[in-house]
Amino acid sequence: FLGVMGDNAAEKILCIVAYAILAIGLILTVIYAVIVGSMYGQYTTLMGWMIFFGGTIYTVIAWASLMVYLNISTNIREIKHELRRRK
C-alpha cells in the first residue's frame, strides 16, 4: 500500500494523522469541557476549565510531537537522497 503512494507516503499519512489529532482533539476538548462545566455541582466549572486547558495543551503537544517526527523523517530522507546523488 505504501509503495503505491510514492516515496514519502509514510510522511503524508503521518501528517494527515497529526492534523486529524489536532482538529478532533480540540473539538472534543471543547465539547467535553462545556458538558462538564455546565453540570450542577460545586467544582464542575473548575473541572470544565481544567479539562479545557489540559485537553488543549495535550492535543497541541501530541500534534507538535508528530510534526517533529515528520520533519526528522523528511530530513533523513533528503540526506539519504543527497548522499546517493553525490556517489
Residue type at 12? K
pLDDT tens digits, one per residue of 23-65: 999 999 999 999 988 888 888 888 989 999 999 999 999 999 9
Band (2; pLDDT cuts 50, 70, 90)? very low
Name the residue among 23, 18, 21 with its Cα closest to residue 70: 18
* Residues contacting 77, CB < 8 A, separation 6+: 7, 8, 11
pLDDT at 6 over 90: no
Would you state the pLDDT for residue 8? 76
Band (16; pLDDT cuts 50, 70, 90)? very high
Q: Distance of CA 70 to CAs 2, 39, 57, Å?
A: 16, 40, 20
